[in-house]
Amino acid sequence: MNIDHEYRTDISSGWNRKHILGLQDLSRDELNIILNQASEFKRLAAIGETKLTPLAGTVVANLFFEPSTRTRISFGLAAKRLSADTVDFSASGSSLSKGESFVDTAKTIEAMGVSYVVVRHKTPGAPQLLAQHLDANILNAGDGTHEHPTQALLDIFTIREHFGKIEGLTVTLVGDILHSRVARSNIWGLKKLGAHVIVCGPTTLIPSEISKLGVEVSSNLDDVLPRTDCLNLLRIQFERQRGHYFPSIREYAHLFGMNKQRINKAKENVLILAPGPINRGVEITPDVADGPHSIILGQVSNGLIIRMACLYLLHLQRTASLGTPG
Ligand code: CP
């Protein structure tokens, strides 16, 4: 089979965006192009076609200025599956400690022949800054509390794969909405694709203006659980919090943690997602995390093909803009 030909279907026609910085920027059509391209890569993987060649001869740089397990490894593997060379940067041990700026560091790495830059940074807007200063195509791998577009795309892909649709589903995001880039990206993406989105958590962890995004707001998980199709359990972002938002972890787990008793009150086919890393016993008990409703490891697997799709689409844009064959 000529795989190079097979994956260049018309799925990607209509894509001309240079960067993927957030789901706020993307249209419904663009979201569907990414999701459909990911489906195509998943289909190819299922028939054993795991090593594809479109990015051969290009370099993808992973610039992680914050810790990561899932995003970093899956972007690295996605690039390799598409035959790109990869370079990995970690802030610790770099020349940042000698006073080099963020942009100068990125430009230095770009000068080694890098075409695609994956960046995670604690500062909201850091990927946009690189998009302004570099020629490379930029992929946001999480910027502070702002957006984490590929996490939301893999969440949405996983939900769509399970239910066969997004339109009309009720998705409840539970927990630390205030500090969650995953929540923001999920809200933009899910709303554009026609889901009803509920945000649920302690009132102190829900931004006051969030209802302007068209979401329902609740502080009572037991109230919203019976009409929820998917629960996305967000981690309490202790590292971003600058105060006490609830009296104790025990109380949080009692009010907002997903456990066996709550599963019994939920829809029979409720789907449990968590972007991870998970705090077992806080937002989810181990029996639920490892139980039949949980799709947490499936999300991780889908992260790989979502990131392949994103890299591939940016590659198509790049080659088209340079006038070279994709
Ligand atoms: N969900 C997520 O972004 O996980 P990592 O921090 O491990 O990349």
Residues tagged active-site: 70-71, 98, 120, 148
**CATH fold of 28-148+302-322:** Rossmann fold (3.40.50)
For a mutational test of ligand 1's pocket, the pick from 64, 70, 119, i.e. the residue with the most ligand atoms closer than 8 A to its C-beta, is: 70
Sketch the domain layout of the chain as residue ranges. Answer: 28-148+302-322, 149-300
Say what the pLDDT of residue 5 is. Answer: 45
C-beta separation of 174 from 200 below 8 A: yes
pLDDT along the chain (326 residues), means of 10: 50 88 97 97 95 96 95 98 96 82 96 98 97 98 97 98 98 95 98 98 94 97 98 82 74 94 96 94 95 98 98 95 74
Say what the pLDDT of residue 236 is. Answer: 84
Ligand 1 closest atom vs CA 66: 6
Does 239 sit in the ligand 1 pocket, CB within 6 Å?
Answer: no
Q: State in Å: Cα 213 to ligand 1 middle.
A: 24
Say what the pLDDT of residue 95 is. Answer: 82
Say what the pLDDT of residue 36 is. Answer: 96
Closest CA relative to residue 45, chosen from 295, 301, 298, 294:
301
Say what the pLDDT of residue 195 is. Answer: 98
For a mutational test of ligand 1's pocket, the pick from 68, 151, 179, i.e. the residue with the most ligand atoms closer than 8 A to its C-beta, is: 68
Q: What is the pLDDT of residues 52-83, one digit of tens each?
A: 999 999 999 999 999 999 999 999 999 999 99
Q: State in Å: Cα 164 to ligand 1 middle.
A: 25
What is the rounded CA–CA span in Å between residue 69 and residue 300? 10
Give every strand in the sheet of 196-200, ordered side by side. 216-218, 196-200, 170-174, 230-233, 271-273
- Residue closest via CA to ligand 1's atom 3 equals 71
Does 71 sit in the ligand 1 pocket, CB within 6 Å?
Answer: yes
- The two domains 28-148+302-322 and 149-300 share their CATH topology (first three levels equal): yes
Which superfamily does 149-300 belong to?
A: Aspartate/ornithine carbamoyltransferase (3.40.50.1370)
Does 276 sit in the ligand 1 pocket, CB within 6 Å?
Answer: yes
